[in-house]
Each structure stands twice: as C-alpha cells, then as structure tokens.
C-alpha cells in the first residue's frame, strides 16, 4: 500500500499495487513545492509515514506540537485565535527518504514537521493554502488514518 500526492492536481490517492483504492482532495503549500526549512513549501519526493497521531481523538480535536490541547475546533474558537494554523483530528507525520533532497540538513521533512492532517471544513480543498503540510477534510483524514500504518510509502510529486 502506498500514497501518491499530486501537487498539480491537489489530490491524494491511496494505492494497493496497481489499484487506486481511494482519492481525496487536499490543500498543499501556498508557497508551492520545495524542501527547505522555513519555506512554507511542500516537500517533493519519496517519504514514509513516521508516526500516526490522534487515534482516539474526536472529530475536530485540536493539536499543537502533535499534542491534543483538549479543545475541539469551532467557529467561536477560530475567532478567539485567528492566527492559528489549525491542525485537527489526526496527524500523519512524514519523514523524507532521500538524503540531500528531503532528508537531513536544511531539507529534512521530519524536522520541518510536515504532516498530512485535518483542517477546518471551512478551508478550501483543491487549492494550495497550507504552510507546507498536506491538509485534508477531517472525515477524509480519519478514513485515510484507518487504512495506513507507520512505514507506509508516500510519494509527493508535481
């Protein structure tokens, strides 16, 4: 099983061999593709899922630093914290596999805290809007989370 993310199409697909099992709309980095830290770009290339975080969290659970805050996202909470980059429901933490491209030094996907994660349902999908992560609808991230395991391959391509 592996994941393919198309930055051009803003689509995440889950594959079993040659068969596409499911397709989800996503939102990747507003600043486009790129691997350098602090760029706000989505890293390309081969990755793996390093960790699955939030297995028992409720829908719209809020995470900061990969830890649940105890909050559940709502429009009222969003109004109270307008500058927050909302990481909701589940986190699939990515790690690069290509030394010098997306692993180690100033291009390390894991050290950049690049995730596939849930986002408020009011946020658009299909257009780049994130700070470099791959955002998904909350029900979609739960569905994907339940289908993958740590070590699952992820290919992010233009």
The whole-number mean pLDDT for each consecutive block of 10 residues of the chain, a chain of 158 residues, reads 98 98 98 97 98 98 97 97 95 98 97 98 96 98 98 98
- pTM of the predicted protein model: 0.97
Do the beta carbons of residue 130 and residue 27 sit within 8 Å?
A: yes
HEC per residue, 68-85? EEEEECCHHHHHHCCCCC
The DSSP line for 23-84 is EEE-B-BTT-B--STTS-PBPPEEEEEEEEE-TTPPTTEEEETTEEEEEE--HHHHHH-TT-
pLDDT at 26: 98
Is the domain 27-152 a CATH 2.40.440 member?
Answer: yes
Residue where the block lists tokens 């028992």 = 56
pLDDT at 64: 97
pLDDT at 24: 98
pLDDT at 61: 98
| Rounded-to-integer distance, Cα 155 and Cα 158, Å | 10
| Rounded-to-integer distance, Cα 57 and Cα 64, Å | 13
How open is the CA angle 51-155-125, to the nearest 5 degrees?
85
pLDDT at 149: 98
> Which run of H or E residues covers position 94?
strand 87-96
* Domain boundaries along the sequence of the chain: 27-152
Do the beta carbons of residue 44 and residue 59 sit within 8 Å?
A: no
Choose among 21, 1, 2, 5: nearest CA to 133: 5
Question: What letter does residue 112 receive in the DSSP assignment?
Answer: T
């Amino acid at each position: 099983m592996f994941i393919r993310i198309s930055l051009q199409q803003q689509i995440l697909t889950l594959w079993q061999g040659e068969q596409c099992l499911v397709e989800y709309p996503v939102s990747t980095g507003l600043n486009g593709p790129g691997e350098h830290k602090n760029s706000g770009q989505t890293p390309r290339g081969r990755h793996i899922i390093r960790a699955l975080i939030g297995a028992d969290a409720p829908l719209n659970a809020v995470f900061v630093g990969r830890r649940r805050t105890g909050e559940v996202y709502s429009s009222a909470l969003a109004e109270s914290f307008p500058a927050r980059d909302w990481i909701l429901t589940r986190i699939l933490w990515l790690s690069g596999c290509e030394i010098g491209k997306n692993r180690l030094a100033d291009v390390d996907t894991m050290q950049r805290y690049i995730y596939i994660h849930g986002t408020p349902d009011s946020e658009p999908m299909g257009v780049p809007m994130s700070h470099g992560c791959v955002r998904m609808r909350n029900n979609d991230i739960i569905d994907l989370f339940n289908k993958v395991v740590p070590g699952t391959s992820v290919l992010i391509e233009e």
